[in-house]
Amino acid sequence: MSSTVKYRFEGSEMNRKLLMGHPSGLFVLFFTEMWERFSYYGMRAILVLFLTSALVDGGWAWSREDALGLYGTYTMLVYFSPILGGYLADKLLGYRKAVAIGALIMTLGHAAMAFDTPWSLYLGIALLVAGNGLFKPNITSIINGVYKNAQDKKDGAFTIFYMGVNAGSFLGILLCGYIGEKLGWHYGFGLAGIFMFLGMVQFYLAQNIFGRIGLSPKEIAADVEEPVNIETQSEKVEETAEVASHVQRDRYIVVGILAFFTIFFWAAFEQAGGSMTIFASDYTNRVLEGGAANAFRIANTLITIVPLMIITFVLLQLFKITFSKYKFSNLALGLSFTIIWCIVIWMLKNQYADESTEIPASWFGILNSFYIIAFAPLVSKIWESRFNPPATVKFGMGLVLLGVGFGVLAYGSSTIPQGAQTASVSIIWLILAYLFHTLGELSLSPVGLSYVSKLVPAAKIGLMFGLWYIAIGLGNKAAGSMGGLIDKITAAYDMTTFFLIFTIVPIVAGLLVMALTPVVKKLMHGIK
């Protein structure tokens, strides 16, 4: 799998040994991010279910409004904290220490949530927010350092990295959800902590593969072998000065417009971890029998085993390159995959043992990751073709597709009586809703980050990404607050009305942002 280096990748000599045409260190980051996303989405998948479940089922019997309120606050703070984490890494810690410390803090957070007490829940959430702030912005900064002099390979690097994100979220939702619902909620929280710990260990023990990348400012200053690149700093100053002040002001306005509509998107999209999870748990017929049960078992086996086999193959190729020097890091990674395979085999065996199959309510969350893996290459090809639309049209498409997904749920829930606390509608409505939501996400989320990088001077990129994440955080908080109204709205009207709100608002917002295309195009001053 290794080949001759054609690009100047930064880092140690071992990092320059290639895997799939990229530095081996990229895959150290791939697996670190994979286990972090495993823990985040695994916990996220069962948090609301745990809080709202009856005491006899091991839950805390919270009201849906209170549970979704906490969920919204947590996910909001997750997107607020990277601003502080990025600042601390830049000024004090360095990227590598920030990632390692962040992973350790998140491990402690998951461990706290494994205890069944209110103080441990709030302590765990606080630690997860703090750890995420150190981890999230700085692991991508290490990638930027590796590809500093190989910019044309960076898109491919982030594509591979993004696959790690989705592989982690897929496995986390699948396995933490299954363990949490079948064995006990706190076992699910604990499982998330185990893999966060193993991800931290494998990164910490292999971090020297990055050479000087991600060291703290103090460590860099003490290293006299490579002086500060004054020429590069001058180029950044010149780059910023090249753009007239009014032109850049207009481009900032565009970023603000896109960020504003981003809030609407995430306020609806993040119902996935809130009201849509409740809909799956209490209003969907998840018990399958006969042919339907067999079809689900086969489909679930394939979408679980095939991606896991592919990722395991990549893992073995990384071992061939790095085991001689980073054997203990590799052993931690190998242990994590051994545990994963054991849990997967046990889960699938249990599903085949029963005549009927009950789909865990958290299972539907894996559809988002599955659809991303399936459709991301197609969407990427469209954006690279002559059919590539302007940014505002892409945003509009994303919002409209999101609204259509909720329209499917509104139609599917039309048979649910007013004020009903339970029902049994077909799983097809959630399957279709997640499809439209994912297509909407692919149209909007990566595009937003891309346009921020295009519209903002290099010297302000970090700050603007931080502000962009604040917009996403506000959307997440709105998602929790709006989703918490599910009982009040269904009591006063019905479930269809609840989902129609999330149908109409995104579609209207999407049409509005598309109508702004001529204005935004003018404000962008040539940026495409």
Q: What domains does the chain contain, in order, with CATH numbers?
A: 22-223 (1.20.1250.20), 243-286+363-528 (1.20.1250.20)
Dihedral-angle region of residue 317 (phi above 0 means left; psi in -120 to 50 means alpha; beta otherwise):
alpha
Would you place residue 151 in the very low, low, confident or very high pLDDT band (cuts 50, 70, 90)?
low
Dihedral-angle region of residue 526 (phi above 0 means left; psi in -120 to 50 means alpha; beta otherwise):
left
Residue whose C-alpha is closest to residue 400's, from 506, 298, 494: 506
Answer whether residue 256 shows pLDDT above 80.
yes
Could you tell me how many residues make up the chain?
528
Rounded CA-CA distance 143/29 in Å is 8
pLDDT for the residue 3: 46
Please enumerate in sequence order all residues whose Cβ is within 8 A of that of 31, keeping only pairs 6 or more positions apart, or say none. Answer: 164, 199, 202, 315, 318, 333
Residue whose C-alpha is closest to residue 138's, from 91, 170, 178, 175: 91
Rounded CA-CA distance 280/271 in Å is 12
Answer whether residue 458 shows pLDDT above 70.
no
Low-confidence winner among 170-174, 306-310, 386-390 (lowest mean pLDDT): 386-390
pLDDT for the residue 422: 85
Name the DSSP class of 456: S
Would you place residue 7 in the very low, low, confident or very high pLDDT band (cuts 50, 70, 90)?
low
Rounded CA-CA distance 405/438 in Å is 9
pLDDT for the residue 6: 59
| Mean pLDDT, residues 509-526 taken together | 93
Answer whether residue 401 shows pLDDT above 90.
yes
Rounded CA-CA distance 16/11 in Å is 7
CB 336 within 8 A of CB 192: no
| Mean pLDDT, residues 439-458 taken together | 82
Rounded CA-CA distance 434/268 in Å is 12
Name residue 380's amino acid. Answer: S
Would you place residue 283 in the very low, low, confident or very high pLDDT band (cuts 50, 70, 90)?
very high
pLDDT for the residue 15: 84
pLDDT for the residue 171: 93
Give whichever of 11-20, 61-70, 377-386 has the largest mean pLDDT.
61-70
pLDDT for the residue 493: 92
Q: Which is more confident, 221 or 41?
A: 41
| Mean pLDDT, residues 100-106 taken together | 95
Would you place residue 70 in the very low, low, confident or very high pLDDT band (cuts 50, 70, 90)?
very high
Identify the residue whose tokens are 């302000």: 460
CB 249 within 8 A of CB 256: no
Roughly how many angstroms between the first and final C-alpha of the chain, as a whole number? 36
Answer whether residue 311 shows pLDDT above 50.
yes
* CA distances from residue 179 to 36, 110, 111, 185 in whole angstroms, order as listed: 18, 15, 16, 7
Reported as a single tens digit per residue, the pLDDT across 206-245 is 999 998 888 888 887 776 554 445 444 444 445 545 548 8
Answer whether residue 1 shows pLDDT above 60.
no
Q: Helix 428-455 vs helix 391-412: angle between axes, to the nearest 10 degrees?
A: 160
Would you place residue 527 in the very low, low, confident or very high pLDDT band (cuts 50, 70, 90)?
confident
Average pLDDT, the chain: 87
pLDDT for the residue 222: 74
pLDDT for the residue 459: 65
- What are phi and psi for residue 373, nearest 5 degrees? -60, -35
Would you place residue 327 in the very low, low, confident or very high pLDDT band (cuts 50, 70, 90)?
very high
Q: Across the strands, what pairs with 19?
A: 22
Rounded CA-CA distance 424/276 in Å is 14
Identify the residue whose tokens are 């073709």: 385
pLDDT for the residue 129: 95
Answer whether residue 353 shows pLDDT above 90.
no
